[in-house]
Structure formats: structure tokens, C-alpha cells
A and B are shown apart, each in its own frame.
Chain A
């Protein structure tokens, strides 16, 4: 049973427009969420994260929104640039009260293609 779902395998967006990548989760114990970006032939790189105590986190062109009641999060990229073309993975984890965390559970990824 997949606990983190990215239902769009690919997404094509015009340069300059907004890219919205979606992610759903089923495990209500998850309380920390992340987005990773991956280029071909490279390892994933951390992009942005959000704790369950927040509903929004922004970092430059990237904003992550969390809707706990719907168990849904989304990554907004504005404006989209050619260098944003990559596979984006949503990930979730459970924080321990004493510090540390469980391992990351990843979604299958969404391939974002930015068209000129």
C-alpha cells in the first residue's frame, strides 16, 4: 500500500507559468514533508520542506502548501524556468518526540517538463 502518492507521472508547463506538483499521503502519522528534485544521472537534492504545524513554506520561487485535513500537499514553482525540468519527489516522515525521525517514504515522482 503506497503511503505517499504522486498521481501525475509527468507534467508539462510553459516557461514563465506556474508549475503545480501534487502529492497525497495516507498515513496520518506523517508530520514532516519534503520535496526533492532529481536530474538524470544525479542523486536527488533537497528542495523544500514543511512541518505539519505549518500550512505554507516559501523559499524563493518555491512554495509548499500543506492541507492536513485532506492529507494533501503541493509544490508551486513560480515562474517556471527551463532549469526546473527534472523529476520531483514528494517525501514524508514521522518525527520522534526526543529528536530524530523515521526514514523517508517517497512518492513515485513527477517528471516536470518546462517548455520554452
Chain B
């Protein structure tokens, strides 16, 4: 089954404790992206990657890091999480030929206290 998986689905952590949210897709997609969804703000892009070893900032990259060492994986790293990073995070992927029709993962709800 074609899918985008994220782990963990739920996470409660404390300020400053480094964490990684994993994202993996099994569709051989070149394009992958991370979004955060906040009430009243919709979906905002954090980082995206057009292919392996190619990453670029989205609209709200501050406080986040990403890496794309393999085509299928695109982890999101919070080196020193802060409460304003409490949010619902979505990973997405798409084929280069249809970069707009992104497939989204189920989401990771992160709470930073």
C-alpha cells in the first residue's frame, strides 16, 4: 500500500530536549516536505526536499533541521524544542512530475512543555 508514515504519532517533551520525527514514504517519490498546522494559521511549510541531498527552507524553518540522505526518508529534527513548536506536524511526498499532488502522512502531534 502506497503510504507516508510518521513516527511518533504523539509526543510530549520538555523544552530543550532534542527530538527527531521520522518520515518515510514507499512510493519512490523525489519530493518530500514538512508542514506544521496550527489553529487559525492553516498549513505552513517548514522545509522541503526536491531529491536526495537537496533541501530548502519553507516559510517557517526557524528552529528546525532536516536531512535527506535516502530517497525514502526525510526526518525532522528539533535540536532544542521550545513551547512555540507545539503543533501538529505533517510530512508529505510527491513525484517530481506531479509535485503538487502531495501525499500526506497521518500527522505527529507534538507538545513541548
Binding site for B on A (CB under 8 A): 6, 32, 34, 36, 41-46, 49, 89, 91, 93, 99-101, 103-109
A105 to chain B, nearest CB (A): 7
Interface digits, B37-56 against A, CB 8 Å rule (1 contact, 0 not)?
00011111100101000001
Since A34-B101, A43-B106 are in contact, a sample of 7 more A-B pairs with Cβ atoms closer than 8 Å, ordered by chain A residue number, is A34-B100, A44-B90, A45-B104, A101-B100, A103-B58, A106-B45, A109-B43
Interface digits, B72-105 against A, CB 8 Å rule (1 contact, 0 not)?
0000000000000000001010001101111111
B24 within 8 A of A: no
A49 to chain B, nearest CB (A): 6
B103 to chain A, nearest CB (A): 8
Measured between beta carbons, the chain A residues less than 8 angstroms from B90 are 43-44
Closest B residue by C-beta to A9: B40
